[in-house]
Chain A
Amino acid sequence: KAGVTQTPRYLIKTRGQQVTLSCSPISGHRSVSWYQQTPGQGLQFLFEYFSETQRNKGNFPGRFSGRQFSNSRSEMNVSTLELGDSALYLCASSSGQAPMSGYTFGSGTRLTVV
């Protein structure tokens, strides 16, 4: 069973640009969540989608947005990049039911803003 696939693995962007990251969940999983990991703040929740609907959103500025497609694949977009957006962006998928079975994370996209 294929895991959660995130592309690209590494990305370097210039301040002010925008970026789109992609996540393909485990087959059959309809929930996709996004997290940002930085050394200072740790892992922080960005948003969660289920069947193309955003069900929850974290405390991030409006420059951070996402969407989910009918095949459950998800993208997140960051516009007007700032140096502080440099981070590891992690996507997680689940069946969308109880949290006890855990969420399966991808290997992440390392974004560097210069």
Chain B
Amino acid sequence: DQQVKQNSPSLSVQEGRISILNCDYTNSMFDYFLWYKKYPAEGPTFLISISSIKDKNEDGRFTVFLNKSAKHLSLHIVPSQPGDSAVYFCAAESGGSNYKLTFGKGTLLTVNP
């Protein structure tokens, strides 16, 4: 049972445009949501997070939006740069005494110059 889903395996955008990566979840107990970026042969790198009590969090070019009623979150990258090309993972945690991230299967973002 996949509790965190990233339905788009890949996304291609032009440099300078907006990249929107989507994530859906089924477990209403999730309290925290995180986005990670991963290059080949490296571990995931933390990008940005959001608590379930918020609907938006912004950090530079990265903004995460959370729609709790729809159990949906998205990561916006503006403007997109070629160096952003990587696999992006959405992850969720229940908080409390959980200490466990549940990951989606990732979306490969390609930013074309």
Contacts and interface: CB of A to CB of B under 8 A. Distances in A.
Contacts of B91: 43
Contact of B46 (A45, A55, A104): A104
B86 to A, nearest CB: 13
Contacts, number: 64
B69 interface: no
Chain A at the B interface: mostly helix, strand, loop or mixed? strand
Interface of B: 32, 34, 36, 41-46, 49, 51, 89, 91, 93, 95, 97-106
Contacts of B89: 42-43
Contact of A107 (B42, B46, B49, B105): B42
Interface of A: 4, 31, 33, 35, 42-45, 48, 50, 55-56, 58, 90, 92, 96, 98-108
Contacts of A98: 32
